[in-house]
Amino acid sequence: MTVAAGIGYALVALGPSLALFVSVISKKPFLILTLLSSTLVWLISLIILSGIWRAFLPLNSATWWPFAILLFTSVAFQEGLRLLFWKVYKRLEDIMDAFADRVSKPRLYLTDKMQIALAGGLGHGVAHAVFFCLSLLTPAFGPATYFVDRCSQIPFFLVSAIIALAFVMVHTFSMVIAFNSYAEGNKVDQLFVPVVHLAAGMMTLINFASGGCIVGIPLLYLMAILTLMHCGRMVSRRLTENHRQGSS
Amino acid sequence: MLISNDSSFARNVGGVLVESGVEIQHKLKGFSPAQKFPQAEFSPYHNTTYEWNPIGSGIMWKSYNFPVFLLSESSTSTLQEIAMKNEKTERAYTTNVAEFDVVMQTTKVGTHDSESCLKEETCLPLGGYSRKKMSFANRSDVYSYGDITILLRGGMLRGGSVWSALPPIDRLSSNQSKPIILAVASMDAQSFFRDKSLGADSPISGMISLLAAVDALSHVDGLDDLNRQLVFLVFTGEAWGYLGSRRFLLELDQQSDAVHGLKSTLMHLVMEIGSTGRGLNQGNKTFFAHTEVSSASNETLDALKLAQESLKSDGVTISTANSSNPGVPPSSMMAFLRKNSSTSGIVLEDFDTIFANKFYHSHLDDSANINSSAIVAAASLVARTLYVLASDNKNLTSSALSAINVNASLVEELISCMLDCNPGLSCELVKSYISTTNTCPNHYVGVVLGEPSSTPHPNQVDDISRFVWNFLADRTSTPKGDTSVCSQDCGKKGGVCIRAETDGKGVCVISTTRYVPAYSTRLKFDSGTWQLLPPNSSDPMGMLDPVWTESNWNTIGLRVYTVQDAAYDRLVLLGGITVTVLAYLAILLTRAYITKALKQD
């Protein structure tokens, strides 16, 4: 496929993340740190999961239900870690607020907190894209291309890049929703994130069927857009509430 | 042929993949990439336009700008599938392509003839001792380059010819002047594809006949008392300019160590066994004796007639070749005759005016092309004829002649060892003499590794030569001589060490069996490199010798994969950039919206 196509696939998977990084995250060092640490946490979670699942390999790829169990346990573990991540963040937030008081500087604004959540989510998303798409992309820079039997209309690399992009969106905005819901104590939203994460994961199982990617990928994007819209709605609601509080 | 005639077609050809399979062989009535008169320049007569091999297309000797691969049967079916997929693919923007990975060091470095490549050490002369691949070329990029199977112009092939005397020549005895009857065969074959040169009919069937004849004669008593000495000689490198025979004759002149015990003045007559595998015609085994018009070979013909008489019940006939033939067919005899035109010699073949082998020097000349009963018949004929010649009509009885019988199961075994992959070189007969990791036999002469000598190290000699040496040494050894474990004084006793590879120690037997290096008479190994000697009028065949060499090469491969159109690649890149830019714009818009919303009020 050549270098042009390889770069194209990489951009499809990670272009928006790059755009987000450049425009929002790179301006504040603390956000960069948050992004890196959340990437690390996500990768560690993968390592632990793979360590546990090693005993059950190889999985029989003719049936789909072992993969369903794999996805369920992985999602559950990662959501548990998200809670932990939140708790650590809360501690950090208190420390930073105390420090700000001491040096008579303003505390963290709501937008700052949301940006931290965004950085955390982006960290998760980038880790997912790098691990599940970029690592497979090296052959794409060579002369050949590859088509999978069960999804034979689109090259394999394009399929994995598109799926990675969807997951970047899901991870990034889920973290914003999650942090907000933990801060507000909103149970519905607290459930929203794991459910959407699990649903998105399960959608990929549809790709197992022959020609399933034609159905599975649009559904996956449905999840991603749902997350995006829910996040947008929540953010605008909180900002207007906060604004009203502040001005009143 | 199409390619050499149509240059615009040739420009579009990147490479050729040749299919293989049993059905293909049956469909072809004949295929020979050799010339119509192979090695005509070496003939001792002037009619070089005579077509011994009318089917010959000569494509093997042309140079091409693209590689030609012979596929295995499994690869053939895989590639046929892929080619069909290419025809009926729904995706317009992909095709399946093949990529060749062949780097010939001589082409890369630019040494396009033997003299320069030998000097630059980017090639090695052809010749027997080693059959290992060389990995000297560095693989840089992958690119299609020509001449993978066609050797570069100018070549030097050499090998390990083997000779053996029956009975062993007693060095210490003063009676060393028995006239010598030389029985000759060759063991190297040639084809368009270096790694599939079986040469079942030409010349291996002849070699098998000779080995079986030696086996039959080894059971005869009283060979010591015969008037003449029998010497068997198996040449290699004959297909590449008669290297074995020419070198042997040169060494004979120089009286080197390799030919100790032989003198050219003692050579009484030469009998060459050419191809014998296709001598079966409707149940009868017919062979032809080819001889040069001027040489006096009536004695041999009479001996052959006597032998034929004794084999009448087996339906074996031998006739003199058609007098309209210009002379002997392409054979080692040409080298003997060029050296000394009065050499008394005949060439025994299974054809009269044109080759009976319709697959001469092609990769399809395999065991399906020959008949073992023809080989057995030829071996019987040869054994009995040699006995008649050696006894020089002294006390020749028909009972003695009928006692000489060829072991047909030995012939079958030799065929399955030398010409089949199963069992191939892992068969019991071969394993009892040599140890080798190869199973599929290949009779390409190979290249010379290191300095040529008459006592080469076993890992410098190829499997077939080593087997022939061990076999001949075993069969020609004095049966009543004591055999003991090999030690230093084995050679001093006039013995040789056989089966040394199978158990590490070997057995010392009394036998006169030696290797003779076989390489072009135009080459000299001097202080680590090969040097091309200038043409010398005392060596007329050397003046015509093209001196073949083989380029150094690394692993050679073929890859087939799917490729996208360049337009599709650019589309993907555009898509990626678009997605990134749109995302950036969306983020900027959102940010502006949020700041505006916060500033409101």
Tell me the per-residue pLDDT of B377-394, one tens digit each, with 9 for 90 and over. 999 999 999 998 888 766
The distance of B143 to chain A (nearest Cα, Å) reads 13
Hey, are the CB atoms on B573 and A144 less than 8 Å from each other?
no
> Are B164 and B232 spatial neighbours (Cβ–Cβ below 8 Å)?
yes
Residue predicted with more confidence, A126 or A245: A126
Tell me the per-residue pLDDT of B330-379, one tens digit each, with 9 for 90 and over. 999 999 998 888 888 899 999 999 999 999 998 888 888 899 999 999 99
Q: What are phi and psi of A138, to 5 degrees?
A: -55, -45
Please state at what angle helix A187-203 crosses helix A156-184, rounded to 10 degrees.
170
Hey, are the CB atoms on A5 and B572 less than 8 Å from each other?
yes
The distance of A242 to chain B (nearest Cα, Å) reads 9
- Look at residue B120 and tell me whether its pLDDT is greater than 60: yes
Hey, are the CB atoms on A12 and B572 less than 8 Å from each other?
yes
- Look at residue B398 and tell me whether its pLDDT is greater than 50: yes
Question: How large is the average pLDDT for residues B410-422?
Answer: 92
Cα angle: A45, vertex A50, A52; to 5 degrees: 100
Compute the mean pLDDT over every residue in chain B, rounded to the nearest whole number.
Answer: 81
- Look at residue B460 and tell me whether its pLDDT is greater than 60: yes
Identify the pLDDT of residue B481.
Answer: 60
DSSP symbols for B214-280: HHHHHT-S-GGGSSSEEEEEEE-SGGGTSHHHHHHHHHHHHT-GGGTT--GGGEEEEEEE---TT-E
What is the Cα B140 distance to its own chain's centre? 31
Tell me the per-residue pLDDT of B90-117, one tens digit each, with 9 for 90 and over. 666 677 777 776 667 666 666 667 777 7
Identify the pLDDT of residue B71.
Answer: 79
- Look at residue B147 and tell me whether its pLDDT is greater than 60: no
| Cα–Cα distance, B71 to B21 (Å, whole number) | 9
Residue predicted with more confidence, B315 or B122: B315
Tell me the per-residue pLDDT of A38-88, one tens digit each, with 9 for 90 and over. 999 999 999 999 999 998 888 777 788 888 899 999 999 999 999 999 999
- Look at residue B503 and tell me whether its pLDDT is greater than 80: no
Residue predicted with more confidence, B540 or A171: A171
Identify the pLDDT of residue A194.
Answer: 93
- Residue B198, SS3 per DSSP: coil
| The two structure tokens encoding residue A102 | 């001491």
DSSP symbols for A47-66: HHHHHHHGGGPSP-TT-SHH
| The two structure tokens encoding residue B548 | 């073949």
Question: How large is the average pLDDT for residues B412-418?
Answer: 93
Q: What are phi and psi of B125, to 5 degrees?
A: -70, 145
Best probe of the A interface among B99, B564, B578, B591, by most A CBs < 10 A, is: B564
Nearest CA to A158 out of A142, A145, A171 is that of A145
Of B67-71, B344-348, B414-418, B565-569, give the lowest mean pLDDT range: B67-71
Nearest CA to A220 out of A240, A205, A239 is that of A205
Which DSSP letter does residue B321 get? P
Residue B153 pLDDT grade (very low, low, confident, very high; cuts 50, 70, 90): very low
Nearest CA to B30 out of B344, B295, B354, B314 is that of B354
- Look at residue B121 and tell me whether its pLDDT is greater than 80: no
Question: Which region holds residue B565: left if phi is over 0, alpha if psi is between -120 and 50, else beta?
Answer: beta
B524 forms beta bridges with B531
| A242: nearest CA partner in chain B | B598
- Look at residue A92 and tell me whether its pLDDT is greater than 80: yes
| A165: nearest CA partner in chain B | B579
Q: What are phi and psi of B249, to 5 degrees?
A: -65, -35
Chain A CB contacts of B589 under 8 Å are none
- Look at residue A224 and tell me whether its pLDDT is greater than 50: yes
Hey, are the CB atoms on A153 and B584 less than 8 Å from each other?
no
Name the residue with tokens 């691990």: A131
The distance of B33 to chain A (nearest Cα, Å) reads 35
Q: What is the CA radius of gyration of chain B?
A: 29
Identify the pLDDT of residue B138.
Answer: 22
The distance of B570 to chain A (nearest Cα, Å) reads 6
Residue predicted with more confidence, B564 or B575: B575
Pairing of strands B180-186, B229-235: parallel
Identify the pLDDT of residue B137.
Answer: 24
Identify the pLDDT of residue A152.
Answer: 80
Identify the pLDDT of residue A229.
Answer: 94
| The two structure tokens encoding residue B211 | 């080995």
Identify the pLDDT of residue B3.
Answer: 55
Q: What are phi and psi of B553, to 5 degrees?
A: -150, 155
The distance of A1 to chain B (nearest Cα, Å) reads 6
* Partner residue opposite B576 with nearest CB, options A2, A10, A144: A10
Identify the pLDDT of residue B142.
Answer: 22
The distance of A33 to chain B (nearest Cα, Å) reads 21
Residue B588 pLDDT grade (very low, low, confident, very high; cuts 50, 70, 90): very high
Task: Give CA separation, B379 vs A172, B272, B279, B348, in Å.
Answer: 86, 12, 12, 11
Cα angle: B7, vertex B13, B18; to 5 degrees: 120
Please state at what angle helix A213-247 crosses helix A110-132, rounded to 10 degrees.
160
Identify the pLDDT of residue A1.
Answer: 56
Hey, are the CB atoms on A5 and B94 less than 8 Å from each other?
no
Name the residue with tokens 């004095």: B478
Task: Give CA separation, A115 vs A119, A179, A231, B448, B482, in Å.
Answer: 6, 11, 13, 74, 97
Residue B155 pLDDT grade (very low, low, confident, very high; cuts 50, 70, 90): very low
Helix %, strand %, coil % of chain A (to 5): 85, 0, 15
- Look at residue B582 and tell me whether its pLDDT is greater than 60: yes
Name the residue with tokens 């959501």: A79
Best probe of the B interface among A145, A149, A158, A172, by most B CBs < 10 A, is: A145
> Are B413 and B427 spatial neighbours (Cβ–Cβ below 8 Å)?
yes
Alpha helices (runs of H) in B372-518, residue ranges in sequence order: 372-391, 398-402, 408-418, 428-431, 463-476, 500-503
Size of the A and B interface in Cβ pairs below 8 Å: 93
- Look at residue B519 and tell me whether its pLDDT is greater than 50: yes
* Partner residue opposite A5 with nearest CB, options B564, B580, B587: B564
Per cent of chain A over pLDDT 90 is 57
| Cα–Cα distance, A173 to A228 (Å, whole number) | 6
Hey, are the CB atoms on A19 and B598 less than 8 Å from each other?
no
- Look at residue B150 and tell me whether its pLDDT is greater than 50: no
Identify the pLDDT of residue B579.
Answer: 94
- ipTM of the complex as predicted: 0.90
Question: How large is the average pLDDT for residues B299-321?
Answer: 85
Kindly report the pTM of this predicted structure. 0.77
* Partner residue opposite B576 with nearest CB, options A15, A143, A146: A15
Identify the pLDDT of residue B132.
Answer: 24
Task: Give CA separation, B365 vs B184, B191, B277, B439, B544, in Å.
Answer: 21, 9, 11, 18, 28
Question: How large is the average pLDDT for residues B59-68?
Answer: 79
Residue A173 pLDDT grade (very low, low, confident, very high; cuts 50, 70, 90): very high
Residue B589 pLDDT grade (very low, low, confident, very high; cuts 50, 70, 90): very high
